Structure 1
Amino acid sequence: MRILVVLAHPLEEGFAASVAETVRGTLTANGHTVDVLDLYREGFDPRLSRSERSRYFEPAYDPSEAEPFVSRLKQADGLVLVFPQWWFNFPAILKGFFDRVFAPGVAFESDPDGGRIRPRLGNIRLFWAFTTTGSPWWVVHLYMGNPVKRLLKRGIAAFCARGLDFRLVNLYDMDRIDEAKRKAHLARVARLTGRI
């Protein structure tokens, strides 16, 4: 498989970078082709431009302002996201990636009569996310209702592709765990991605 790994974290030495490298190394060792898109290091601009928004629902939307990121998504068979959850949501740069790259004609088609959205990412068969959060499990699930999983699975994945292998793997209490737990999580990431 050709897998696009999208990393959304501003610190090159951060734990998210270690997770992304574990994913990349494991997938590559298993014979997959891996394209790592580090949104910060590649200078991705998350802001939807005025011209992009004004043309967004035109019949032949032109996503060229978001190239080469659109092409990289279209070439992938699988998508793996690596990011921290901040305020129970995506980092702004990742939200901008969805806004600009998961565009009409790329990720979905709008019914011209204003009805249903039709998925266009038939090439994507695998949609996984590895995230961290400073909150404990019970806050994310019981108090907040796991908003990131809902947005990814019911919103983005379901509206853009059919029959996906979807998985979200969280590391909770990130701000309070020790090095042993971080290493154990990286081993879990390697074990899971090794099954792809």
Structure 2
Amino acid sequence: MKTLIIYCHPYDKSFNHAVLTAIKTNLTRNNSDFTVIDLYHDGFNPVYDQEELRLFHDGNTHDPLVKKYLALLKSASTIIFITPLWWNSIPGMLKGFIDKVMKEGDGLSHTVSKTGVHGELTNIKHTYVLTTSTSPKFYISLFNGNAIKRIFINQTLHQLGMQDRHWLHFGGITNSSLARRQRYLSKIANYHFK
């Protein structure tokens, strides 16, 4: 069982980075095989250019990182996304990752038929989305339309074939106490990722 972590934050002193460290500690302690995709560190370009779009329907790319990332996705059984929520949704970098890396075609991330999108990433049996935000979770869930759960997790990741989807969120980060942040990191360091 191989775990793929997709990390999306530009600042290595962020709470998201502390979450990444806690997860790596957890997986190492449990002798889990894992790989980290660090989108910012890798210098991933999330922007579609004309050539990339021209190659899309053939399942091709001219970006070597897209090939690398798609191969990692196809070999993973568990995926863990670590990302902040910015303006009620995932950052543009992570949206660009979904846009560019998820390629249409047999044996890639999805196929399209008259009845809709069919996910090909059924090898991913367990999916975890770990987010942070300045807004509390109740505000995101009840007053902001819950886009992360409703669209990203229940639609996009589902359409790609990713199974057993879970959302863990740390809200109110700006006004949180050190003790609360440490409790959450301890929870993540001891969480049972399948």
> So what's the TM-score if we normalise by structure 2?
0.91
Q: Which residue of 1 aligns with 2:110?
A: 108
Query: For residues 1-196 of structure 1, what are the structure 2 equivalents within 5 Å?
Result: 1-56=1-56, 58=57, 60-63=58-61, 65=63, 66-105=66-105, 106-111=108-113, 114-161=114-161, 164-192=163-191, 194-196=192-194
How far apart are the structure 1 equivalents of 2:164 and 2:61? 26
Q: Which moved more, 1:146-155 or 1:87-96?
A: 146-155
Identity in percent: 25
- What's the RMSD between the two structures over aligned residues? 1.5
How far apart are the structure 1 equivalents of 2:87 and 2:111? 30
How far apart are the structure 1 equivalents of 2:14 and 2:189? 17
1:189 deviates by 1.2
1:25 deviates by 1.5
* Cα distance change, pair 115–159 in 1 and its aligned pair in 2 (3 A): same
How far apart are the structure 2 equivalents of 1:137 and 1:6? 22
How far apart are the structure 1 equivalents of 2:145 and 2:32? 34
Long gaps (5+) in structure 1: none
1:141-194 CA-partner distances (Å, limit 9, x unpaired): 1111211111222222211116x12110010101110111110110121232x3
Conserved 8 A contact 1:109-1:120: yes
Long gaps (5+) in structure 2: none
Letter in 1 for 2:156: I
> So what's the TM-score if we normalise by structure 1?
0.91
What SS does structure 1 have at the residue aligned with 2:37?
Answer: strand
How many positions carry a matched residue from both structures? Answer: 190
